[in-house]
Structure 1
């Protein structure tokens, strides 16, 4: 995405035209300057002097610092592309006035005959990396730190790293240099690397004015390959508008206000997995564009709708996933977080969603709450689903209801069940879980012991709880001597436990007349449970 800033400081149009049309080299280097005719050379020297103007650089550095702090810092990183090595040094000097010195670092080549201010800068630059043998290793250290560590957050370059540099965390390029042909295209590509699922496009901020007619210029060399390689904010806004329109269609007929009834209606619309997936994908794309658009004024007309879609997304994610992507959102989508904090309706809804440990007590709390039936049923459904997902291997109680719950979820998504029936079925499941938890407490079993008890009860169908309790005690006492620290990493201990469990299960096979298949399933489930959850 292309954004011009401080346009009064851009290079004059006729000088730019000279560069783009008359200079034949791939780029403007000091050697090439000497080879071109004097009349052109004098004007190109003007451009070089212009790009090294200290007063101009100071003003741009202040703007870069403000933009970086407001839009990039803590989420992504930036690169300042300057017109010369001298300009690199000046940008570092003035960025240090507006940002902490550790925020930025220069990456460029140095020569023995360098003059001021490069000569003095090199001495200080070298001191910062005293433990490294040469400039090549210093550059490697800076680049690696940029990619993997917190600092530096901004690289200042002129020729180095413009091509062949891959750092997806690079989101914004502050451009104050004249490039053309494929080097310009390669520079743009540096900032367009996708990053996780929070960055799909990069931002190029132009202080030189070279990108004003970028697509026209690139098509001279690349024809269709350059189409849409870079767009301005108005084009990006058009894409944002299109996605917002597609989101509106998903919820057509629903009033976009922040009352609970509206969000419940939206939740009902998302029952279908296809619709759910479409909404999540489109909302995430809209959110990324909303962030990139920053303070672009025209997006204000969609602000209320975007707030509503954000509320729906937050509500749905908290209902359906065990962990909301809260940390990621707070880090990478600061402008979205700002509008959430501004909207009282969203805050109230967030407060009502689960902020406590997910357990049977929480399910009962929902069941007995004053929420409307539809909201109760949906909250209970997804809370149960999360609870089973978390506990089904650790606690066989939850495994026994997994299939039943999966069928309930399917029927709800396919609109085969009314909310009243759904609520009643969920209440039965909660009652079953509560009954089993009370039984565990009555037996004074740990979760691990009750897990063994439940497996025995399911497979042996023994009605006498006391008898099953005796078996639990025998199993625990039988294997406890082998359950030392890191027992799973000791083949001998694992074999001991496996043999003891098999012998015990064989005795029960005889006593309870189990078929071989019944015995095999019982033995494997018992062994698997102990392997996964026995301490040690």
Structure 2
């Protein structure tokens, strides 16, 4: 209600969380946004900023990845201020009518999985809010502007029952009472149970998403607090089921799940990235080689459906990496993986059989990585060698030595002629197409195969030019 309250509130919060504070506008997790002058008290001066500095803070606050998460505002950032990721508004001053609607509008924007904004009312503004909403609807506004908490609680309980039903018979009580090792140890068996159900993974993931949204709207209702440990467990199982393997790069957790974990507080669900190998009870392998030791460990997992899921994710991650280097090889392995998984999903083969097929595919990938060395080709040269359809009988007659020579010359020609934006320039692409065809004709490449080979070579060139530019 006043600038004095802003400063005193800031001081009290920082006493509790000193790591949030910073005198630097570019640092810190909490700031005051208010106007002032040189005549204001000395302890107010650090919080008084001119318009450019306030705009810089606004830019930080709009960025959901910026550390600045909490602002104490005095009659600022209402008209024209837009921050879609903002989810909670704490009101401690009398407001009514248009001003109240403007304030609430700060948190009502759709953003990622955010189900709705939360208004924490310290003064009891329900009557003013109803009056403001009546004015809003009379003036032509439509749509549901508020959601009664009881409805959110009912929806939360419905989705909670679905999750419990899928995990019926499974005891996860150690999730709330056990240590970190015990909690991680629950995940493999829980994933196995979900995967063993008909469409279990899809149904469970959808139910957890719906439960998380309803839970975020239902807190701090007592029924929501009663199940918060279970919600955290369901989220951890869902995270283990959906975690993809992008070696060396970990994505951010969805905003809603992160927020719900903060609400849960006593929490179980570890912050950051869930280690899928620990969740499966395995040591982390060297993904670049998919070693025999690791494949044997996967084969020995008692949870067969989980073993399939883990191998599938590993192989998809490896194929994704290869797709940036060798388009033909990646395409071939992707097709083989898709065929195997389709038969498994259609129940044409059992989990034990699909595990063996996926392990065989992993071995093929490992052997493919060594082909370049055997042929005396670099990774780039091997990629162009594969682009020449070397398995085709009409092409094989040229012999390995000629095909290797073509591959080396293609690499040199492409490297000399591509620029960063060459894929956007028709004249450069046309010139490169001519050069590729000229090389193929020079070494007697079958005429009826030249057009397809040229297209594949150019596709491979587009991938490698990105790698070269990054290097």
Given the two structures, how large is their TM-score scaled by the length of structure 1? 0.65
1-side partners of 2:312 and 2:397: how far apart? 33
Q: Cα distance, 1:177 vs. partner? A: 1.9
> Quick one: structure 1 residues 167 and 270, their matched pair in 2 at CA, closer, same or farther if it must change by over 3 Å?
farther
1-side partners of 2:123 and 2:131: how far apart? 15
SS in 2 for 1:204: strand
Q: Where does residue 416 of structure 1 map in the other structure?
A: 348
Report 1:169-184 matches (<5 A): 169-184=85-100
Contact 1:92 1:105 in 2 (8 A): yes
SS in 2 for 1:186: helix
Q: Where does residue 397 of structure 1 map in the other structure?
A: 329
Q: Where does residue 429 of structure 1 map in the other structure?
A: 361
- Aligned residue pairs total 425
> Is residue 504 from structure 1 mapped to residue 439 from structure 2 by the alignment?
yes
2-side partners of 1:495 and 1:417: how far apart? 47
SS in 1 for 2:243: helix
> Is residue 313 from structure 1 mapped to residue 245 from structure 2 by the alignment?
no
> Quick one: structure 1 residues 513 and 483, their matched pair in 2 at CA, closer, same or farther if it must change by over 3 Å?
closer
> Quick one: structure 1 residues 341 and 150, their matched pair in 2 at CA, closer, same or farther if it must change by over 3 Å?
closer
Report 1:450-465 matches (<5 A): 450-456=382-388, 457-459=390-392
Q: Cα distance, 1:91 vs. partner? A: 2.0
Contact 1:92 1:156 in 2 (8 A): no
Q: Where does residue 74 of structure 2 map in the other structure?
A: 157
> Quick one: structure 1 residues 122 and 460, their matched pair in 2 at CA, closer, same or farther if it must change by over 3 Å?
farther
> Quick one: structure 1 residues 214 and 256, their matched pair in 2 at CA, closer, same or farther if it must change by over 3 Å?
farther
2-side partners of 1:167 and 1:259: how far apart? 37
Contact 1:236 1:289 in 2 (8 A): yes
Render the CA deviation track for 1:348-386: whole Å, top value 9, x for unaligned. Answer: 952636845533425872355321343333322332233
SS in 1 for 2:223: helix
> Is residue 283 from structure 1 mapped to residue 199 from structure 2 by the alignment?
no
Q: Where does residue 260 of structure 1 map in the other structure?
A: 188
Q: Where does residue 381 of structure 1 map in the other structure?
A: 312
SS in 2 for 1:476: helix
Given the two structures, how large is their TM-score scaled by the length of structure 2? 0.73
> Quick one: structure 1 residues 522 and 295, their matched pair in 2 at CA, closer, same or farther if it must change by over 3 Å?
same
Output the aligned Cα RMSD: 4.2
Larger-Rg structure: 1
> Quick one: structure 1 residues 449 and 214, their matched pair in 2 at CA, closer, same or farther if it must change by over 3 Å?
same
> Quick one: structure 1 residues 320 and 292, their matched pair in 2 at CA, closer, same or farther if it must change by over 3 Å?
farther
Contact 1:453 1:468 in 2 (8 A): no
Unaligned segments of structure 1, at least 5 residues: 1-81, 112-117
> Is residue 526 from structure 1 mapped to residue 442 from structure 2 by the alignment?
no
Contact 1:501 1:523 in 2 (8 A): yes
Contact 2:107 2:117 in 1 (8 A): yes
Greater RCO, CA 8 A, separation 6+:
1
Q: Cα distance, 1:430 vs. partner? A: 2.9
Render the CA deviation track for 1:193-234: whole Å, top value 9, x for unaligned. Answer: 23333x3222222222223x5675556545697996345755
2-side partners of 1:348 and 1:402: how far apart? 22
SS in 2 for 1:194: coil
Q: Where does residue 366 of structure 1 map in the other structure?
A: 295
Q: Cα distance, 1:526 vs. partner? A: 1.9
